[in-house]
Chain A
Amino acid sequence: MRKVKPARKLGRTAAHRKATLSNLSTQLLIYKRIETTEAKAKETRRVVEKIITKARKGTHHAQREIFSALRDKDAVRELFEEIVGKIGSRPGGYTRIIKLVPRFGDAAKMAVIELVDYAEAPSAAPVAAKQDRSKRVKGSKKAEAESQEKEGGEAAE
């Protein structure tokens, strides 16, 4: 009996799914690390690992095949000129998925997927230290009271 390979459908039609995975793969190759849902990260891994393995052949044919999947010249150039060299002799397993805390709003399982060989590069930390809510909310009474207190204190001195 014909058996279908297990894969997530991601709630999309075949064409939509193909486009989504193509986009995610392209972005991963360009940015080296992307944040998405856990399911999409795991599906992207299947796709992009095969693409990278193919790219390591380095043939013109491989390049054309990959372009037909990604439809993005910049990503293909980055892949063949930078990423393939950086990978060295790694026998597959070019990507790493790290789980994140659930997304606020719909509690979707989130994850980052990154290229292992780029992961040691420094990250620009995006997470600003959380301020007191009273200071972030404009015109909050608590914040005003605090700033007035400060002013009052300075004036007294």
Chain B
Amino acid sequence: MANPKAKMSKSRRDKRRAQYNARTKAAVTVLCPNCGEPTLPHRACRHCGHYKGRQVTGKIVVA
């Protein structure tokens, strides 16, 4: 049976796993142009609820 010739050191194992986290899990954030807080791109700001220059969450008040 094929078998590993040597034990994989913790260092090598962790270096391999670090690549996964660094490449896939780092959250991309942008700064909200309205309130300046970091938030996700292409989504309404989690802090102030603005998107494309206007409030997009909450109730619409019909006159």
Q: Which residues of A are in contact with B by a Cβ distance under 8 Å?
A: 31-33, 35, 98-101, 112, 114, 118-119, 121-127, 130
Is A99 a contact partner of B49 (Cβ separation < 8 A)? no
Is A31 a contact partner of B43 (Cβ separation < 8 A)? no
* Size category of the binding interface on chain B: 20 to 34
Is A99 a contact partner of B44 (Cβ separation < 8 A)? yes
Task: Decide yes or no: A118 and B58 within 8 Å by CB, A99-B42, A100-B44, A127-B49 being known contacts.
Answer: no
Task: Kindly state the separation between the CA atoms of A32 and B57 in the bound complex, as whole angstroms.
Answer: 12
- Kindly list chain A residues whose C-beta atoms are within 8 Å of the C-beta of B54: 119
Asked if B40 is an interface residue, CB under 8 A from chain A, the answer is yes
- Kindly list chain A residues whose C-beta atoms are within 8 Å of the C-beta of B51: 98
Is B60 a contact partner of A118 (Cβ separation < 8 A)? yes
Is B63 a contact partner of A121 (Cβ separation < 8 A)? yes
Is B59 a contact partner of A100 (Cβ separation < 8 A)? no
Is A112 a contact partner of B44 (Cβ separation < 8 A)? yes
Q: Choose one: A33, A98, A101, A130; the contact of B60 (CB below 8 Å).
A: A33
Is B60 a contact partner of A112 (Cβ separation < 8 A)? no
CB proximity of B46 to chain A, nearest CB, Å: 4
- Kindly list chain B residues whose C-beta atoms are within 8 Å of the C-beta of A31: 59-60
Is B60 a contact partner of A119 (Cβ separation < 8 A)? yes
CB proximity of B55 to chain A, nearest CB, Å: 4
Is B61 a contact partner of A124 (Cβ separation < 8 A)? yes
- Kindly list chain B residues whose C-beta atoms are within 8 Å of the C-beta of A32: 60, 62
CB proximity of A101 to chain B, nearest CB, Å: 4
Among B39, B58, B60, B62, chain A packs the most CB atoms within 10 A around the CB of B60
Is A124 a contact partner of B44 (Cβ separation < 8 A)? no
With contacts A33-B60, A123-B59 known, what are 6 further pairs, Cβ within 8 A? Answer: A98-B43, A98-B44, A114-B60, A121-B61, A123-B49, A123-B61
